[in-house]
Amino acid sequence: MRILLVEDDPDLTRQLKLALADAGYAVDHAPDGEEAQFLGETEPYDAVILDLGLPKVDGVSVLERWRRGSVATPVLILTARGAWSDKVAGFDAGADDYLAKPFHTEELLARLRALLRRSAGHAAPSLSCGALRLDPRAARASVNGEPLRLTSLEYRLLHYMMMHQGRVIGRTELVEHLYDQDFDRDSNTIEVFIGRLRKKLGAERIETVRGLGYRLAPLPGEENA
């Protein structure tokens, strides 16, 4: 899952990037509204964390421009502006959630998880696909109750596929949501990570749809597990 963090405070940026990476997210950063607007319009993010008091272009204006341009990415506003009128302005501009500074990092992560669940149509806090379970709160997965040992990139790949299980996902889409902007992206590495996941999950859980991509689905007989 790939997040755009829009924040101009260097110290807070470092803190949040570390917390988000530890929670299993790929993170891009924009220090001002101008760059944020460009990235939001040109890159496929799963969610945006957006400050309002930004250099060049303020956060509300950025959000309004995104929504006018049909950018539907879920947006969590994170700002020192905590007055009810600021919250109303943020929601009316198209925000999906609003958190005032100062804040607890765990609350931010919980709100982000909820935002991602809602946008993907999931209600439960954990994800399941037959006997496969993934807990985004702890960034852990298991099969039949047995914990899986996953690298950070394997976890990101599995998390994205479980959020969109049952759907064929192309290699390009996986690359775009697995890696941050600065990573040397190569769609061929997706095959490597798919192969590693198959060894850990069981080869049959991830289907290759020739010419289209991959699909994660429960095994036969597991649908109601």
**CATH number of the domain that residue 211 is part of:** 1.10.10.10
pLDDT in tens, 171-224: 999 999 988 876 666 657 889 999 999 999 988 999 999 999 999 988 877 764
pLDDT in tens, 42-71: 999 999 999 999 999 999 999 999 999 999
116 and 46 in a single domain? The answer is yes
The domain boundary, picked from 120, 144, 168, lies at: 120
pLDDT of amino acid 57:
96
14 and 112 in a single domain? The answer is yes
Phi then psi for residue 77, to 5 deg, are: -80, 130
pLDDT of amino acid 184:
63
pLDDT of amino acid 81:
85
Is residue 27 within 8 Å of residue 17, measured between CB atoms?
Answer: yes
Q: In this model, does residue 14 exceed pLDDT 50?
A: yes
pLDDT in tens, 108-125: 999 999 999 999 888 888
Q: Which domain holds residue 109?
A: 2-120
The length of the chain in residues reads: 225
Rounded to an integer, what distance in angstroms lies between the CA atom of residue 87 and that of residue 168? Answer: 38
Is residue 119 within 8 Å of residue 46, measured between CB atoms?
Answer: yes
139 and 66 in a single domain? The answer is no
Q: Which H or E run includes 201?
A: helix 188-201
Average pLDDT over residues 150-165: 94
pLDDT of amino acid 132:
95
pLDDT of amino acid 224:
44
Top-confidence residue, 181 or 77: 77
